[in-house]
Structure 1
Amino acid sequence: MTQFTRRDVFATAAGAAATAAAGFNPLTLASANAQGVAGSTTGVYRYKLGDIELIQVLDGARTFPMPDKFVANVDKEQAAAAFEGLYMPKGQVTISFSPLIVKSGGKTIAIDTGNGLGAFAATKGAVGNTRANMQAAGIDVKAVDIVLISHFHGDHINGLKNADGTPAYTSAEIKVPEAEQKFWTDESNQSKANGANKGNFANVKKVFDGLKTTPFEVGKEVAPGITAIATPGHTPGHVSFIISSGSKKLVVQGDVTNQPGVFMRNPNWHLVFDNDGAMAEATRRKFYDMAMAEKMPVVGYHFPFPAAGYVEKDGNGYRLIQVHALT
């Protein structure tokens, strides 16, 4: 059973007090006007949360034929119809990727790192654009102080290395969920991974080879204004992050769900990459119920760019209301 509650989420005294008084605090978003070098992309979106600056950077998006068991507990025809209902090409799936940069307490913090420069070359620029968009936003990868990892799937960790395998974030402390690290660095756990996740052990070993990491526990502040919460199921040690500034809060959900137009509307659908589908489903429901109760914006790694919005109930599921109040 998923183990997190409102009390777990707002572990600090200041967080609990602020939440009670906060009420509804809509995000104010502002599109970036940063100019990148010639040929660079401009997938950059800036917004503020109290005194904290958040910079959403688009890593890219991939469109691919839907595998037979992309939704593990639903037949392919039903799953394909759901994606086609979002005006995606028939039989195709489009997934986007959006890491987040946070400037808080004098620190520059990256939450997840994208598919990496190696993927940029392999996909002819479809994904792997995080570094280019950081540059367009005026953020030098060497100036990042802390990297927070939500979980160990490749699209979140591969950006820790350059295309030649050298470390990318050379000045940053790389902080990882303790439970996630313990699971993926113990090869005896391969028997506990579902088919789609068994190959991830080799990639984890490759990515983290030569990197120094700092494991963290959930329920604690892991960077200025950022607290980690346990949201397991997608992977055993998957975490999300509460970002707080004064009375304002939002939650960065990692992969609590994938494409929101499908998996938020159908929280009982189990993505092929959910290592424990039943646990992932329980986490989704508790997580979104919590976000609605607290009227907190949600940032989703796989939400359509700029990847931020509010969650509302929709029948037996949920729907994402993306934020487009530009200033």
Structure 2
Amino acid sequence: MPMMKMNRRDLLVGGGAAAAASVATYLGVSLLPLHVQAQNFGAPSVVQVGYRKQKVGDFEVIALNDGVVRRALQAEFVRNAPLAEVQELLKSQNLPTEYVDVPYTAFLIVAGDRRVLIDTGFADNGPSTTGRLVANLNAAGFKVEDIDTVLISHHHGDHINGLRNKAGQLVFPKAKIMVPAVEHAFWMDDAKMEAAPAAAKGAFQNVRRVFGGLGPDQLVQFQAGQELLPGIRTDAAYGHTPGMVTVTAQSKGQKFMYLADLTNVPQLFARNPDWAVVFDMNPEEARLTRRRVFEAVVKDKTLAGGFHFPFPAFGRIEALGQGYDFKPVA
């Protein structure tokens, strides 16, 4: 599988230190100070009620917001479109053009006596406006001990760091942790870590920090396309990372699909699915995956949710021009 090379030039395109900082923050590693991103645009608004429940047949799916980060909109954010064009699209939606607010929302599937958390947010390892998932889990009526399975879509830090707190303790002590085998093999490959540019090595080291010391009874690898639990399956969505998966929960003819990072900032990358966000490791593969999955979701009228979708992060995907539009649930 061809991979995008993140060399020094890639990190410095369109913003110098800010570009490297954005890669660092997204991957959940501290390479540069977080304030490099935020500049003087103020603090983002944190949702007051950070959970939303939705019935899917006999299942209940709960969106759990972990917070939001405000980052300056630099030229590198969209790799293959002029900044002016990106800003014009934001302006047309009455959105700010100098920065973007990036929310983080995990999902809990309640299926009978099973409690399956998809992705984890930051815990206490991230910016001050993140780390709210556990509080919102509690507000929704659940405790960390209730989670029996944590299903990871891919190994970027904002999706895995919430497995352990800053002290290294497991946040969900009774949970079996399930990871995509293709994704896990890439990030645990010592040769790939050694060959990575300095600014990316921290992401590889972070994966080892999170998953290190977990035995085979705790850490379970799976192949995309498997039904992992009754009514819950994953499918390959490669491109954003080498082994990212989507997760589909289906019950009594109703379906929910978690899109993970299929699109970052849907106001940009759903509307223009051929645009490449700076974090897509294989932009062309990510583009093809984005269009394939969006077309299927639209055709099947599937309820969808995304990790970076505006809260409540549930909604429908509709065709719009040459792209797609996210319509949140009311």
TM-score category of the 2 structures, normalised to the smaller one: 0.7 to 0.9
Letter in 1 for 2:293: F
State the partner residue of 1:222: 228
Letter in 2 for 1:63: R
Distance 1:317 1:49, change over 3 A: same
State the partner residue of 2:67: 60
Matches within 5 A, 1:120-139: 123-124=127-128, 126-139=129-142
SS of alignment partner, residue 307 of structure 2: coil
Cα displacement (A) at 1:156: 0.4
Cα displacement (A) at 1:81: 3.2
Percent identity between the aligned chains?
A: 37
State the partner residue of 1:187: 190
SS of alignment partner, residue 209 of structure 2: helix
State the partner residue of 1:92: 99
Greater shift, 73-82 or 137-146, is seen at 73-82
Cα displacement (A) at 1:193: 6.6
State the partner residue of 2:82: 75
Give per-residue Cα distances to partners, 1:264-303, cap 9 Å, x unaligned: 0000110110000000000000001111111111111111
SS of alignment partner, residue 303 of structure 1: coil
Residue 314 (str. 1) matches residue 320 (str. 2): yes
State the partner residue of 2:58: 51
Matches within 5 A, 1:2-21: none
Distance in 1 between residues matched to 2:80 and 2:94, nearest whole Å? 23
State the partner residue of 1:289: 295
Give per-residue Cα distances to partners, 1:109-144, cap 9 Å, x unaligned: 10000122222xxx33x1110011111112111110
Distance in 1 between residues matched to 2:320 and 2:248, nearest whole Å? 24
Cα displacement (A) at 1:180: 0.4
State the partner residue of 2:267: 261
Distance in 2 between residues matched to 1:146 and 1:297, nearest whole Å? 22
Distance in 1 between residues matched to 2:140 and 2:91, nearest whole Å? 34
Distance in 1 between residues matched to 2:209 and 2:200, nearest whole Å? 15
Letter in 2 for 1:56: A
Distance in 1 between residues matched to 2:104 and 2:272, nearest whole Å? 20
Greater shift, 189-198 or 213-222, is seen at 189-198
SS of alignment partner, residue 320 of structure 1: strand
State the partner residue of 1:163: 166
Give TM-score scaled by structure 2 length.
0.81
Cα displacement (A) at 1:42: 3.0
Residue 148 (str. 1) matches residue 151 (str. 2): yes
Distance in 1 between residues matched to 2:77 and 2:146, nearest whole Å? 38
State the partner residue of 1:209: 212
* 1:102 corresponds to which of 87, 95, 109: 109
Distance in 1 between residues matched to 2:181 and 2:63, nearest whole Å? 26
* 1:240 corresponds to which of 238, 241, 246: 246
Letter in 2 for 1:55: I
Cα displacement (A) at 1:172: 0.5
State the partner residue of 2:121: 114
Cα displacement (A) at 1:173: 0.3
Q: Contact 1:229–1:240 (CA<8 Å) still a contact in 2?
A: yes
Distance in 1 between residues matched to 2:93 and 2:200, nearest whole Å? 27
Letter in 2 for 1:299: G
Distance in 2 between residues matched to 1:241 and 1:272, nearest whole Å? 23
Cα displacement (A) at 1:239: 0.2
Distance in 2 between residues matched to 1:198 and 1:81, nearest whole Å? 35
> Greater relative contact order (Cα 8 A, min sep 6): structure 1 or 2?
1
Count of equivalent residues: 283
Letter in 2 for 1:302: H
State the partner residue of 2:16: none
Q: Any gaps of 5 or more consecutive residues in structure 2?
A: 3-46
Give TM-score scaled by structure 1 length.
0.81
Q: Contact 1:197–1:273 (CA<8 Å) still a contact in 2?
A: no
Distance in 1 between residues matched to 2:241 and 2:158, nearest whole Å? 13
Cα displacement (A) at 1:85: 3.8
* 1:42 corresponds to which of 49, 52, 59: 49
Letter in 1 for 2:265: Q
SS of alignment partner, residue 55 of structure 2: strand
Distance in 1 between residues matched to 2:199 and 2:83, nearest whole Å? 17
Q: Contact 1:88–1:94 (CA<8 Å) still a contact in 2?
A: no
Cα displacement (A) at 1:86: 3.8
Distance in 2 between residues matched to 1:267 and 1:191, nearest whole Å? 32
Letter in 1 for 2:255: K
Distance 1:194 1:246, change over 3 A: farther
